[in-house]
Amino acid sequence: MPYSTIVSTEVLAENASNSDWEILDCRMSLSDRDAGLKAYRENHIPYAQFCHVEDNFCSPVTEHSGRHPLPDIPTLLEKLGSMGINNNTQVVVYDDANGAYASRVWWQLRELGHYNVAVLDGGITQWMKEGRELTQLVPNIDATEYSGSFNTKSVVTTDQVLENLSDHTFTLLDARSEERFKGDEEPIDPIAGRIPDSINRPFQQNLDENGLFLSADELKEQYENLIEETDMPIVHMCGSGITACHNKLAMEIAGLTGSKVYIGSWSEWIRNPERPIATG
């Protein structure tokens, strides 16, 4: 059966050597762009290949963009082929941050029409807790071809967010921490605060005390309460379009489909000082 949201460590262990599966190690750090590769070289899940999220699933930052813009799609398709991924491959993505980074890769593959992609529940952290095998061996990858087109209707632009301040056609759900959302602290971007009328849903709330996703029923109840309160479609955002995808994933686990992502997020919004900011 295909896996399209999350997959357990048990299932991955049973299928890691399957030639129809590809495993992507998406570990990264916002403060050290080489940290993920260093961690991968130290150890990783068997048969996993390293995937640099910023290099492979983002394009270079511009003066108008956020910190993680969408990549050039033809280049991405070529890269996926070089990773041995074809349109029928079951892809599993993982990190060591409760899926915070892997969910961005999951989301972009989904919007290419690739539904056989899942985030490893608990990531490599859970894998190691269970004492499962790790390796330093880098797998041999046979390149293939990947075709697809990106669903541009799945993303919301900064202009649309600006218009929404008066039109009120959707609700912005911000995945950042409460402290960043309120503007009490901002460790990454040069300006603190939030977009007016947005709602805070830190992505960590999708997880239990062990770093695993809550059940589909629990997530459904929580997100349905949010949707009921706002009575509008949901658009996910965060600092730069990374952890926003974690909330999107949680809604998909809950069976609540159709939400969108503001990929520019806070780091793009603040590029123009004339755009309104709320704090407190």
- Please report how the helices 244-253 and 102-111 are oriented relative to each other, as an axis angle in degrees rounded to 10: 70
pLDDT in tens, 134-175: 999 999 999 999 999 999 999 999 999 999 999 999 999 999
Q: Other CB atoms closer than 10 Å to residue 256's CB: what's the count? A: 18
Task: Examine residue 64 and state whether it is found in any structural domain, yes or no.
Answer: yes
Whether residue 128 sits in one domain with residue 18: yes
CATH label of the domain that carries residue 105: 3.40.250.10
Whether residue 163 sits in one domain with residue 147: no
What's the pTM value of the predicted model, to 2 decimals?
A: 0.97
Range of the domain at 110: 6-151
Dump the DSSP string for 163-180.
Answer: HHHHH--SEEEE-S-HHH
H-helix or E-strand spanning residue 49: strand 48-50
Instruction: State the pLDDT at residue 228.
Output: 87
Q: Other CB atoms closer than 10 Å to residue 104's CB: what's the count? A: 31
Instruction: State the pLDDT at residue 231.
Output: 85
Q: List active site positions.
A: 238
Q: Other CB atoms closer than 10 Å to residue 251's CB: what's the count? A: 24
User: Side chain identity at 9, as an amino acid letter?
Assistant: T
Q: Which residues of the chain are under the pLDDT cut of 50?
A: none
Residue at which a domain ends, from 151, 172, 199:
151
Number of domains in the chain: 2
**What letter would DSSP give residue 44?**
B
Whether residue 147 sits in one domain with residue 10: yes
